[in-house]
Amino acid sequence: MASSISLFDAGLTDLMNGNPGSGILASPSPLIQAQLQKVLDLWTPLKAVLENNVNSVRNSTGQVDLTILQAMAPGNVALLKNSAIAVGQLVDSAKAAGSVAPGLVVDIAGRQRMLIQRMCKEVLLIGLGFDVPSSLHHLKDSSHLFGWSHHGVIMGAPWAGVPELTSMCTIQAMSDVTHKWEEFHPFIEQILDAESDAESQATASHSAETIAKMSSPLFSSQVAAVKLYVNDTGLCTPLAGISRAQWVYLLNNVGKQRFLGQKVSQLFMQIANGVDVQNSKVSLSVDLASTTQVLRSLIEGSVVHHIPPPPTQAITDQLISAHGVWLDFRSVLQTAMDFGKTDHLTVTRVDHQSRMALNSVNLATNLYEEAALASEPTLPSHVINMAGRQRMLFQKISKEASLICYGEGVEHNWHDLNSSRGMFSSAHWVLLLGKLPDSDSPGINKTTDVCVIQQMKVVADLYGKLEQAALQTASGSLVALGELIKLNPVAFSAMNTAVGFYASGSASCGALNISFAEWTGVIREIGHWRMLSQKASKEFLLIAFGNYTGNYTGNITTADRNKLKATITEINLSLKRLKFGAGAHNIPAAPTQGIVDYVFALDGVSSSFIQALEADNISAVANKSETMLAETENVMTMYMEAAGQSDPTVPGHRMDIASRQLVLAQSIAKQALLLRLGFDGSSGAKLNLAMASFAASQKDLQYGGNGLEEVIPQRQDLLEQCHLVDKGWNAFRPQVQDIATASTNDTAAMSATLLALAEVLDAAVVLYGVLDPYVEIPELAVSWILIAMVVLLPVVLCGCVAVGVCNATGRSLTFAAMIGRCRCSKAKGLDETSV
């Protein structure tokens, strides 16, 4: 207390007489001098009371002498009032003299220091039982005044001449004050919220020491802030104090502001279009409040929530600008809601304000990205920004479609809608495939984590549905707008999870649930990619053969080269579908990290093959195509095993053999061309083997054999397709033989019959992927099966084994298939004989 008395004495003397060493001028006018004299006159007797009773205010038992407090109270109140008058006069005098310091703000900020001490004093008085009702009233006023003043010097009150706080360093300091006040204030509220004066006194007595201790850091923070209000040089360096986790939060949440701004726009357009009106109104009210709160937390920071204030003045300025734009936008939306206005003029204003709000937050987000890159170079700031923007685009696309549906700015909103669709698709593939650094942005690594890939597949599938609904909405369908309302939160949640994965740099996921349709889809796609290696080789050799024989005209050569280019493009697209999945083709994302790693390794194999095609190197093409084929076989094996473990009903084996027929058909044409060009070292043996394999496999697919079951009579679709394949094969085979034996140099007939064969083979692959129907086995047939087994029992005893098989799926089998196959021991080994 003695130190505080000495400090007050020195400060009052300096104000009255000046202190050049401390930069304090003497009282600038007689009016102020007179007011300071009043302060001194009130201070002198109060000082005497304090000094004379410091040792006697408590007796030997610890009881407080209330008469001393009663003697002190009037002088204390009068001193405070007159001191405040003197400060106000000094502020006015500074303004009149042209001071650049914001006098009123400095006054209010400085007064906060006093209010902290005043609250402590009032708590002590309440705890001591001194005039409790009056002291509670004063404590409540002091607490409210501090809170309102704290808010006012940050947010500003233009009507009162208090500007919004815009200095980065002062905002940093005030963020610390906010944190300390949030820790201090609940103890004051606990005293004020008590149900009786007696309970308030007991609470104050119990917490007085804690409040006194907590007031010290709050006071120190406020003192530091006041100094910056007086003179903020802007020399603070908060960038160094921001952790990696805080950068992630900032990038994620400033980006989320873009989403929220577009979301409230879409909610209003739902109301304007008369769809889900009541729910949209409720959601709009909630989101208007939460959006404002999140934006303010970004500007002011929050120690409790680990949100640092803006780390640069440029970011501070842009966030404050964005906040101003947002307040204007919020006002338009709130007024429209309050008065039920959804007319064209209001919708036009909402459209305009929505664009402005998005642009302003985009600028702030980009500034955060730049600052994060400079401060944390290893943080994928650009990836977090780009991934976060995808969430916003869901809402932006929906909003633009809804505006078109309403009839607002149809032409420019169609342009924006298509631009947003293109932006989403482009960013999606950049995130997955990666990109090299350029002058506009840093490089991005390709996504190879199985969990992230699976999550992005979910996002892509939802986006496909949302995009379709948006286009239908833009075409005037309110039913589709209802579908958009359902899809948006689901799509946001999926993308938000992906953003979290990209932001943290790690991901986790459970076992992927792959449907029957997806298993058959991915097996079909692997078979397709496997076939493309041979198709591209064949098309390359057709061009070489045409040049070799001199049969090509310029137009035909160009057409074949275009076909080859199209096949190369399809190789890349097919591999991309295998890497990342494709909902439109029923292709799932890879189920394991091992499969992801292996499929990604195929990039090198595919690129090497394509380079050989583009280099016109026949030997290299022949070798690389075989390498690519072999690697694809490994992928097929991986997926076949995974499918078998996940869903044993998937007819993977017969689909594999059926799709292999497509490979063989292309390979047969390729081998014939290699033979004619002199690049077949086997003298036609490879061609003959391929043709024999095709014929044998086609027989197995229809009649059973080598692990395949016979096509049942109930599958007339498959039987008919087998007939079409046989017909196509019989047309193709002689054309190949004519080329191989040099009977003709015209490849047109071979190409045409190959195309026709490929079409029916492709259709067959799809049919082989369909489960056979359930067929009851008649009781009489069962009886005959049992009789046959008894009859064959002696065969078993002499070394043959007969096994009755009833298909688990319930499909009917031929008698031979149900009995099985018997292997009988002979001198030359095991020979397979059908029973």
Per-residue pLDDT tens for 276-289?
A: 999 999 999 999 99
Choose among 519, 800, 482, 804: nearest CA to 646: 519
Pair 35, 61: CB distance under 8 Å: no
Q: Residue 816's pLDDT is what? A: 35
Which secondary-structure segment (H or E) carries 826? strand 821-826
For residue 278, the one-letter residue type is: Q
3-state secondary structure of 449: coil
CA angle 290, 295, 298 (to 5 degrees): 130
Contacts with 258 (C-beta within 8 Å, 6 or more apart), sequence order = 358, 361, 362, 365, 388, 389, 391, 392
Pair 104, 162: CB distance under 8 Å: yes
Question: Residue 696 and residue 126: Cα distance in Å, rounded?
Answer: 101
For residue 119, the one-letter residue type is: M
Alpha carbon 47 to chain centroid distance?
64
Q: Residue 827's pLDDT is what? A: 33
Q: Residue 11's pLDDT is what? A: 73
**pLDDT at 272 exceeding the cut of 50:** yes
Q: Residue 834's pLDDT is what? A: 27
Encoding tokens for residue 169? 């360093």
733-775 confidence digits (pLDDT tens): 999 999 999 999 999 999 999 999 999 999 999 999 999 998 7
**pLDDT at 270 exceeding the cut of 90:** yes
Q: Residue 65's pLDDT is what? A: 72
Q: Number of C-alpha atoms within 13 angstroms, CB side, residue 350?
A: 30
Q: Residue 556's pLDDT is what? A: 63
pTM: 0.81
Q: Residue 830's pLDDT is what? A: 24
Q: CA–CA distance from 584 to each of 363, 400, 425 (Å)?
A: 36, 25, 15
Q: Cα-flanking dihedrals φ and ψ of residue 829, to 5°? A: 110, -155
Q: Residue 388's pLDDT is what? A: 94
Choose among 193, 10, 15: nearest CA to 93: 15
**What's the rounded mean pLDDT across residues 10-25?**
77
Pair 187, 193: CB distance under 8 Å: no
Q: Residue 85's pLDDT is what? A: 82
**pLDDT at 198 exceeding the cut of 60:** yes
Q: How confident is the model at residue 26 (pLDDT cuts 50, 70, 90)?
A: confident
**What's the rounded mean pLDDT across residues 463-469?**
98
Q: Number of C-alpha atoms within 13 angstroms, CB side, residue 715?
A: 24
Percent of the chain with pLDDT over 90: 70
Averaged pLDDT of the chain: 88
Q: Residue 12's pLDDT is what? A: 80
Encoding tokens for residue 309? 């204030």
351-405 confidence digits (pLDDT tens): 999 999 999 999 999 999 999 999 999 999 999 999 999 999 999 999 999 999 9
**pLDDT at 676 exceeding the cut of 70:** yes
Q: How confident is the model at residue 702 (pLDDT cuts 50, 70, 90)?
A: very high
What is the per-residue DSSP string for 117-142?
Answer: HHHHHHHHHHHHTSSHHHHHHHHHHH
Between 170-179, 219-228, 309-318, 545-554, the lowest mean confidence (pLDDT) is in: 545-554
Pair 169, 228: CB distance under 8 Å: yes
3-state secondary structure of 457: helix
Find the helix packing angle between 168-192 and 103-128, rounded to 10°: 20
Q: How confident is the model at residue 777 (pLDDT cuts 50, 70, 90)?
A: low
Pair 655, 768: CB distance under 8 Å: yes
Q: Is the dihedral of CA 742, 746, 751, 752 positive or negative?
A: negative
- As a whole number of Å, the CA-based R_g of the chain is 41
- For 236-287, the three-class secondary structure string (H helix, E strand, C coil) is CCHHHHCCHHHHHHHHHHHHHHHHHHHHHHHHHHHHHCCCCHHHHHHHHHHH
Q: Residue 554's pLDDT is what? A: 52
Burial class, 53, CB count within 10 angstroms (exposed 0-12 / middle 13-18 / buried 19+): middle
Name which residue leads in pLDDT, 449 or 800.
449
What's 152's DSSP letter?
H
Question: Residue 463 and residue 488: Cα distance in Å, rounded?
Answer: 9
Q: CA–CA distance from 69 to each of 134, 270, 476 (Å)?
A: 14, 65, 78
Question: Residue 232 and residue 241: Cα distance in Å, rounded?
Answer: 19
597-618 confidence digits (pLDDT tens): 999 999 999 999 999 999 988 9
Alpha carbon 537 to chain centroid distance?
41
Name which residue leads in pLDDT, 47 or 489.
489
- A 10 A CB-CB count for 817 gives 17
| β 821-826/829-834 pair status | antiparallel
Choose among 301, 286, 166: nearest CA to 246: 301
According to DSSP, the residues that pair with 821 across neighbouring strands are: 834
Q: How confident is the model at residue 331 (pLDDT cuts 50, 70, 90)?
A: very high
Pair 528, 659: CB distance under 8 Å: yes
Question: Residue 640 and residue 636: Cα distance in Å, rounded?
Answer: 6
Q: Residue 96's pLDDT is what? A: 60
Q: Is the dihedral of CA 685, 689, 690, 691 positive or negative?
A: positive
According to DSSP, the residues that pair with 825 across neighbouring strands are: 830
Q: Is the dihedral of CA 172, 173, 176, 177 positive or negative?
A: negative
Choose among 363, 364, 335: nearest CA to 349: 335
75-119 confidence digits (pLDDT tens): 777 877 787 787 777 666 665 655 544 666 777 888 888 999 999
